[in-house]
Amino acid sequence: MAKGVLLTDFLESNSDIELNKVLLSLAEGCKIIGRLINNAGITNILGVTGETNVQGETVQKLDDLSNKILMDYLLASEATAGYLSEENEGVVTLNENGKYIISVDPLDGSGNIDICAPVGTIFNIVERLSPVGPVNDADFFQTGNKTIAAGYFIYGSSTILILSTGNGVNGFTLNTENHQYFLSHPAIKIAERGKIYSLNQGNIGKFDDGVKNFVSYCSENDKATSRPYSLRYIGSMVGDIQRTLIKGGIFIYPANKGGLKGKLRLLYECIPMSYLAEQAGGKGTDGTQRILDIQPTELHERTAIFIGSKDLVDKAHEFLKG
């Protein structure tokens, strides 16, 4: 589709009215979140609420606000049956007759707001399993292969919706003059060969030897394979994934030595990002299997993640196998 097409027009080509209602209510809610973030320094909503969330993490005021805005807008969509959020301990029923359920990280990377680094809203949408009425945990325990739509809103130098409904990945930039989303990044494809690696190098001592050896490989001098690669790490998943989608490379958040799980959450961070990566021609794994094949068993479970250009994910796997 041609650049400049409105998100609303783009979605008209998708005949699923119920899904469009969910996506458009998200898009409206995230306009509000983006404006709150842009004005955070003025309106005294920076900083923390003094509470900790189910993850045991300090809740930023904007985390809380974003979570409430999304629940309100998704409730108004009348098509969203259930809501799972990093900020809520359990699942929330919104519209008992809704067709879809949504897993959300309302404001990923919020600790970066104070330094004006990119933050974002990440979402994954599947059909509910239970017929009607209140949703339950089991509705959310679906692999990423069941994803109907996934994406994120990145609040950075622009507000951009990166979206896939199963036919590739497209980016829609929010025009701050008329508050409409315009198709600005049609048919995003991750470069097959990446030259950027992204991980928190400070934790290298905690990681298995396979990860350390892959990082050494990335930083070795070898003209024939354009090494050393560049190390880029924002510390905000949406920012690191946005760069990976647009410029290629690999983003890694591994498990610590001897552990199985990394820091990032499966249902509302790693599944949506891996869905996007695969739709854009890349890969997303936990170091051994596709993220989209992992069967969730807990709402807030975590996983290791290796995501990005095919060649670098495959190369990382070579080192992980030892």
Residues that bind ligand P6P (CB under 6 A): 108-109, 111, 200, 235-237, 240, 263
- CA distances to 56, 69, 127, 258, 272 from 73, in Å: 26, 6, 18, 42, 20
The answer to whether residues 245 and 235 touch, using CB atoms and an 8 Å cutoff, is no
Nearer to ligand P6P, 63 or 139 (CB): 63
* Least distance (Å) between residue 235 CB and ligand P6P: 5
**253 DSSP β-pair partners:** 305
* Least distance (Å) between residue 108 CB and ligand P6P: 5
Nearer to ligand P6P, 94 or 119 (CB): 119
In angstroms, rounded to a whole number, what is the distance separating the alpha carbons of residues 154 and 105? 12
Nearer to ligand P6P, 4 or 47 (CB): 47
Nearer to ligand P6P, 90 or 235 (CB): 235
* Least distance (Å) between residue 283 CB and ligand P6P: 18
Residues 6+ apart with CB under 8 A from 51: 58, 59, 64
Nearer to ligand P6P, 94 or 264 (CB): 264
DSSP H or E segment with residue 158: none
* Least distance (Å) between residue 305 CB and ligand P6P: 9
DSSP H or E segment with residue 76: helix 61-77
Q: Taking the CB of residue 284, how many other CB atoms lie within 10 A of it?
A: 24
Residue for token digits 């069941």?
146
DSSP H or E segment with residue 226: none
Nearer to ligand P6P, 10 or 207 (CB): 207
* Least distance (Å) between residue 174 CB and ligand P6P: 21
Tokens encoding 303: 């996983």
* Least distance (Å) between residue 56 CB and ligand P6P: 12
Nearer to ligand P6P, 29 or 254 (CB): 254
Q: Taking the CB of residue 222, how many other CB atoms lie within 10 A of it?
A: 9
* Least distance (Å) between residue 120 CB and ligand P6P: 8
Q: Taking the CB of residue 255, how many other CB atoms lie within 10 A of it?
A: 20
The answer to whether residues 45 and 36 touch, using CB atoms and an 8 Å cutoff, is yes
Q: Taking the CB of residue 80, how many other CB atoms lie within 10 A of it?
A: 29
Nearer to ligand P6P, 20 or 53 (CB): 53
In angstroms, rounded to a whole number, what is the distance separating the alpha carbons of residues 320 and 212? 9
* Least distance (Å) between residue 219 CB and ligand P6P: 18
- DSSP secondary structure string, 298-316? STT-B--EEEE-HHHHHHH
